[in-house]
């Protein structure tokens, strides 16, 4: 069952709040990825694949 936009928004907000509680801030790339996820433009699997590629040396 697919999550609603509001459910995706709530999940992102909770994740970012946890990050901030740990003394960190989401990067601008993470915020863009989160917006894409909330809006339904990309799935979490697509985002994870892109993040791994961004942070893996060729």
| Contacts of residue 44, Cβ cutoff 8 Å, sequence gap at least 6 | 37
For the chain, the residue count is 58
Instruction: Per-residue pLDDT tens, the chain, 58 aa: give them.
Output: 899 999 999 999 999 999 999 999 999 999 999 999 999 999 999 999 999 998 897 6
Structure confidence at residue 3 (pLDDT): 95
User: How many distinct structural domains can be found in the chain?
Assistant: 1
Structure confidence at residue 53 (pLDDT): 93
Structure confidence at residue 1 (pLDDT): 83
Domain that holds residue 12: 5-54
């Amino acid at each position: 069952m697919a999550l609603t936009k509001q459910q995706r928004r709530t999940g992102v907000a909770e994740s970012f709040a946890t990050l901030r509680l740990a003394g960190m801030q989401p990067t601008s790339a993470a915020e863009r990825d989160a917006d894409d996820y909330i809006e339904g433009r990309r799935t979490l699997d697509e985002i994870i694949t892109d993040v791994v590629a961004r942070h893996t040396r060729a």
